[in-house]
């Protein structure tokens, strides 16, 4: 398993965004290009959710095609992840071009995914909404859709009927012991009604890293399936 440290500098108000990169086994020996998952709260996913190890197990078992993971760490989480347009722009216009330039990626929207937990799910959804030409897949674990009187939910409700020429795939999971259960149910129902591809999971769990770790394999498989 190869996880390397990297630092991505951004041009807006924050000085830096430290991150890590997961490169699948054999990456350095090959020339193939790969899809990329941009995973928020990256260090937490590495240490508390075993995100790189789970990806590697799935790839080795051929349950999912090989992919690169960019583990993004916020500097001011409550500011950046609160459906922040500047952070969304950093992801789409600075980080993605940097990754496409420095790693063997498939540079297309369908080969780029965003995901995070709680507020990390919020900024993942928001970034996909603000930059639909860059990202074609998005996931949220226990997404905190309650923020700002459900501002992100309102934006999702304004989405047009799904366009088969520019598909978007969604993955959401939530625990039945969470206060955000109802809003997550409403979001996935609304998206399905508009024809979007949505995978939705519930479990008898709460809002914690153990729950997100336990559902992570399913999240990877669901996000990357055609």
**CATH number of the CATH domain containing 167:** 3.40.50.1820
Helix (H, G, I), strand (E, B) or coil at 139: strand
User: What pLDDT does residue 1 have?
Assistant: 52
Query: For residues 226 and 210, what is the distance between their CA atoms, to the nearest angstrom?
Result: 28
**Rounded Cα gap, residues 98 and 215, in angstroms:** 30
Tell me, what's the pLDDT at 170?
98
| Number of C-beta neighbours around residue 76 at 10 A | 12
Token pair 């193939």 is at which residue?
A: 32
CA angle, 87 as apex, 36 and 168 as ends, to 5°? Answer: 45
pTM here is 0.93
Q: Please report, in tens digits, the pLDDT of each residue of the chain (226 residues total).
A: 555 545 555 554 434 455 688 988 888 888 999 999 999 999 999 999 999 999 999 999 999 999 999 999 998 999 999 999 999 999 999 999 999 999 999 999 999 999 999 999 999 999 999 999 999 999 999 999 999 999 999 999 999 999 998 999 999 999 999 999 999 999 999 999 999 999 999 999 999 999 999 999 999 999 999 8
CA distance 23 to 220: 15
What residue has token string 């995914």? 113
Range of the domain at 73: 2-224
Report the number of distinct structural domains present in the chain. 1
**pLDDT value at residue 12:** 46
* pLDDT for position 149: 97
CA–CA distance, 51 with 185 (Å, rounded to integer)? 25
Distance between CA atoms of residues 97 and 12, nearest Å? 16
Helix (H) or strand (E) holding 129: helix 119-130
Q: What is the rounded distance in angstroms from the CA atom of residue 222 to the CA atom of residue 226?
A: 9
Angle between helices 51-60 and 216-224 (to 10 degrees): 60
Both tokens assigned to 135: 């990202």
């Amino acid at each position: 398993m190869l996880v390397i440290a990297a630092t991505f500098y951004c041009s807006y108000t924050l000085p830096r965004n430290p991150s890590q990169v997961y490169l699948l086994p054999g990456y350095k020996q090959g020339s193939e290009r790969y899809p990329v998952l941009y995973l928020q709260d990256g260090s937490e996913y590495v240490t508390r959710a075993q995100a790189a190890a789970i990806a590697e197990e799935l790839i080795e078992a051929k349950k999912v095609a090989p992919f690169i993971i960019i583990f993004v760490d916020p500097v001011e989480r409550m500011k950046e992840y609160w459906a922040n347009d500047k952070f969304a722009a950093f992801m789409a216009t600075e980080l993605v071009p940097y990754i496409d330039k420095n790693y063997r990626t498939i540079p297309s929207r369908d080969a780029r995914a965003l995901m995070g937990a709680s507020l990390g799910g919020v900024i993942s959804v928001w970034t996909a909404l603000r930059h639909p030409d860059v990202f074609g897949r998005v996931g949220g674990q226990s997404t905190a859709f309650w923020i700002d009187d459900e501002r992100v939910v309102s934006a999702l409700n304004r989405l047009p009927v799904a366009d088969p020429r520019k598909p978007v795939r969604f993955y959401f999971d939530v625990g039945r012991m969470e206060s955000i259960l109802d809003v997550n149910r409403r979001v996935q129902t609304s998206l399905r009604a508009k024809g979007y591809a949505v995978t939705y999971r519930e479990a008898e769990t709460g809002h914690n890293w153990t729950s997100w770790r336990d559902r992570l394999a399913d999240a990877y498989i669901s996000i990357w399936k055609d």
